[in-house]
Amino acid sequence: MAELFQNLYLGFSVAFLPINLFFCFVGVFLGTLVGVLPGLGPAATIALLLPITFSMPPETAIIMIAGIYYGAQYGGSTTSILVNIPGEASSVVTCIDGYQMARRGRAGPALGISALGSFIGGTLSVIGLMLLGPLLARFALKFGPPEYFSLMLLGIVILTFLSKGSMVKSFISAATGLFVGTIGVDTIYGVQRFTYGTLTLMDGIGLVPVAMGLFGVAEVLTNLEQEEVRDIFKTRIRGLLPTREDWKESIGPIIRGAFIGFFLGILPGGGAIMASFTSYATEKRISRRPESFGKGAIAGVAGPETANNAATGGAMIPLLSLGIPSNIIMALLIGAMMIHGIKPSCFLVKEHPQVFWGVIASMYAGNLMLVILNLPMIPLWVRLLKVPYGILFPLILLFCLIGVYTVNGNAYEVLIMVIFGAVGYLMRKAKFDPAPLVFAMVIGPIMETALRQTLLHSRGKFGIFFTRPISAVLICVSLLLLLSPLIPRVGKKRETIVKEASED
Partner 1 sequence: MDRISGGVVFCLGVCILWQGRHLSVGSLHGPGPGFFPVLLAAVLMILSLFLILPKGKKEENSSFFSGSVKRVLMMFVALLFYFALLEFLGFLIVSILFMAFSFIAIAYYRWYSALLWAFVSIGLTYLLFEVLLKSNLPKGVFGF
Residues that bind partner 1 (CB under 8 A): 51-52, 168-169, 171-172, 175-176, 178-179, 182, 186, 188-189, 191, 193-194, 217, 220-221, 224-227, 389-391, 393-395, 397-399, 401-402, 405-406, 409, 411, 414-415, 418, 421-422, 425, 429-430, 432, 448, 451-452, 455-456, 459-461
DSSP codes of every residue in 467-494: HSHHHHHHHHHHHHHHHGGGSHHHHHHH
By beta-carbon proximity to partner 1, the closer residue of 227 and 231 is 227
State the minimum distance, in angstroms, from the CB of residue 352 to partner 1: 25
State the minimum distance, in angstroms, from the CB of residue 339 to partner 1: 15
Beta bridge partners of 184: 193
By beta-carbon proximity to partner 1, the closer residue of 23 and 432 is 432
State the minimum distance, in angstroms, from the CB of residue 27 to partner 1: 16
By beta-carbon proximity to partner 1, the closer residue of 9 and 466 is 466
Residues 221, 88: contact at Cβ < 8 Å? no
State the minimum distance, in angstroms, from the CB of residue 1 to partner 1: 43
State the minimum distance, in angstroms, from the CB of residue 14 to partner 1: 23
Give the Å distances, CA to CA, from 463 to 47, 225, 313.
39, 50, 35
By beta-carbon proximity to partner 1, the closer residue of 133 and 444 is 444
Where does residue 21 rank: exposed (0-12), middle (13-18), buried (19+ CB within 10 A)?
Answer: middle
State the minimum distance, in angstroms, from the CB of residue 398 to partner 1: 6
State the minimum distance, in angstroms, from the CB of residue 56 to partner 1: 11
State the minimum distance, in angstroms, from the CB of residue 164 to partner 1: 15
Q: How many CB atoms lie within 10 A of CB 23?
A: 24
At what angle are helices 107-139 and 2-15 packed, to 10 degrees?
120
H/E run at residue 55: none
DSSP codes of every residue in 164-201: SS-HHHHHHHHHHHHHHHH-EE-TTT--EES-TT-HHH
Closest CA to 210 of 503, 415, 432: 415
CB-side neighbour CA atoms (13 Å) of 399: 18
State the minimum distance, in angstroms, from the CB of residue 362 to partner 1: 22
Q: Phi and psi (nearest 5°) for 184?
A: 120, -155
By beta-carbon proximity to partner 1, the closer residue of 316 and 447 is 447
Q: How far apart are CA 398 and CA 406, in angstroms?
A: 12
Residues 171, 160: contact at Cβ < 8 Å? yes
By beta-carbon proximity to partner 1, the closer residue of 241 and 398 is 398
State the minimum distance, in angstroms, from the CB of residue 408 to partner 1: 11
**How does 420-434 read in b/e, with b if 16+ C-beta sit within 10 Å?**
bbebbbebbeeebbb
By beta-carbon proximity to partner 1, the closer residue of 149 and 357 is 149
By beta-carbon proximity to partner 1, the closer residue of 101 and 392 is 392
Q: How far apart are CA 163 and CA 159, in angstroms?
A: 6
State the minimum distance, in angstroms, from the CB of residue 23 to partner 1: 13
Handedness of CA 258, 261, 266, 272 (dihedral sign): negative
By beta-carbon proximity to partner 1, the closer residue of 5 and 189 is 189
State the minimum distance, in angstroms, from the CB of residue 336 to partner 1: 16
Cβ contacts of 478 within 8 Å, gap of 6 or more: 150, 153, 154, 157
By beta-carbon proximity to partner 1, the closer residue of 277 and 420 is 420
By beta-carbon proximity to partner 1, the closer residue of 269 and 403 is 403
By beta-carbon proximity to partner 1, the closer residue of 33 and 368 is 33
Cβ contacts of 19 within 8 Å, gap of 6 or more: 60
Cβ contacts of 52 within 8 Å, gap of 6 or more: none
Q: How far apart are CA 77 and CA 43, in angstroms?
A: 17
Cβ contacts of 385 within 8 Å, gap of 6 or more: 36, 37, 79, 82, 83, 230, 232
